[in-house]
Amino acid sequence: MRRLGDVRSESGRLQLLVLVSAQLCSITGCLFVTDYFTRTPRKLNAFRSFASVELFHFTVPDDTVVAVWNLITFKEQGGTFGDNCPDRNVTVYFRSGAPPVINPLNTHFPKDTIVPGSFAVTLTWTLPNRTTGVFNVTSPLPGDWFLAAHLPKDEGKISVK
């Protein structure tokens, strides 16, 4: 996985903190174990190409009953909260087994193309500098799960401060 350089944009730095919790039930049916996994926040960029997408990898244990992804996105600008940054939705895709096939430009695939199943969540801003979202999967497939996140494509507008 390639980490993008520190590119500053008008919207400031947006970072995504992903907290994953998986609830396990043993074969005997009486024991519940909860595991928590966290990932380091990463800067999100506007979609320009697939290199602009941040990819996260998780391993869901066998016998997982419910996997819950708690998503927290916040604005940061110059080391402080970016209260003056514009509100830009964050799109997050999930897929089991391989990275998700995404279509952020809403183009059409050829009609004989099979696109493997993935799930998408759009996070909208609920607070001045932070937003949250939850994605639950009941009886998820065990093994590798991938999450891809990006900001919407820049519209090419320049604004005066």
pLDDT over 80 at 56, yes or no: yes
User: Count of domains in the chain?
Assistant: 1
- In a domain? residue 161: no
Separation of alpha carbons 33 and 30, rounded Å = 10
Residue 72 and residue 40 in contact, taking contact as beta carbons nearer than 8 Å: no
* Residue 22 in domain: yes
Nearest to 141 by CA among 29, 82, 63, 52: 63
Does the residue 158 lie in any domain? no
Residue 49 lies in a domain: yes
pTM score of the predicted model: 0.69
Nearest to 76 by CA among 38, 44, 47, 49: 44
DSSP string, 81-93: E-TTSPP--EEEE
Model confidence over 114-136: pLDDT tens digits?
877 788 888 887 777 778 888 88
138 within a domain of the structure (yes/no): yes
pLDDT at residue 1 greater than cutoff 80: no
Q: Residue 61 corresponds to which tokens in the numbers above?
A: 């244990």
**Is 135:20 a contact under the CB 8 Å cutoff?**
no
Distance of CA 38 to the CA centre of its chain: 13
Tell me which residue range forms the domain holding 94: 13-105+112-150
Looking at residue 155, its pLDDT comes to: 64
Question: pLDDT, tens digit, for every residue of 11-38?
Answer: 333 333 333 333 333 344 545 667 777 7
